[in-house]
């Protein structure tokens, strides 16, 4: 699958709380390390307390596979917060 299309679809899935995409979102965030794709998804997750908790849990599993710049960017986003759980 095309990562560009998947990232856009997953962004909409998060925004509209499409639970059927949850597993795919997790697979994407743990399998794709490009900041261009993962940063907007984490940003959308951080808009709600539930999403923020999920983002933190996924990031803990995914961070080792991310490029150091990507990991640093996402860690900073999670630190700043968005919605706190």
36-47 pLDDT, tens digit per residue, is 999 999 999 999
pLDDT for 81? 74
Backbone phi, psi, residue 5, to 5°: -70, -45
pLDDT for 84? 47
pLDDT for 83? 52
* Burial profile 50-83: b = 16 or more Cβ within 10 angstroms, e = fewer: ebbebbeebbeebbeebeeebbebbeebbeeebe
What residue segments make up the domains of the chain, in order of their start?
3-80
State the pLDDT confidence band at 53, using cuts at 50, 70 and 90.
very high
Which of 83, 58, 2, 84 has the alpha carbon at shortest distance from 74? 58
CATH number assigned to the domain covering 3-80? 1.25.40.320
| Structure token pair of residue 32 | 């794709």
pTM score, two decimals? 0.92
Summarised one tens digit per residue, pLDDT across range 60-73 is 999 999 999 999 99
């Amino acid at each position: 699958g095309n990562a560009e299309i998947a990232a856009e679809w997953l962004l909409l899935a998060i925004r509209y709380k499409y639970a059927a995409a949850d597993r795919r979102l997790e697979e994407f965030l743990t399998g794709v390390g490009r900041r261009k794709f993962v940063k907007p998804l984490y940003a959308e997750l951080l808009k709600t307390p539930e999403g923020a908790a999920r983002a933190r849990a996924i990031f803990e599993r995914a961070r080792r596979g991310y490029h150091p710049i990507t990991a640093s960017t996402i860690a900073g986003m999670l630190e700043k917060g968005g919605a706190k759980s």
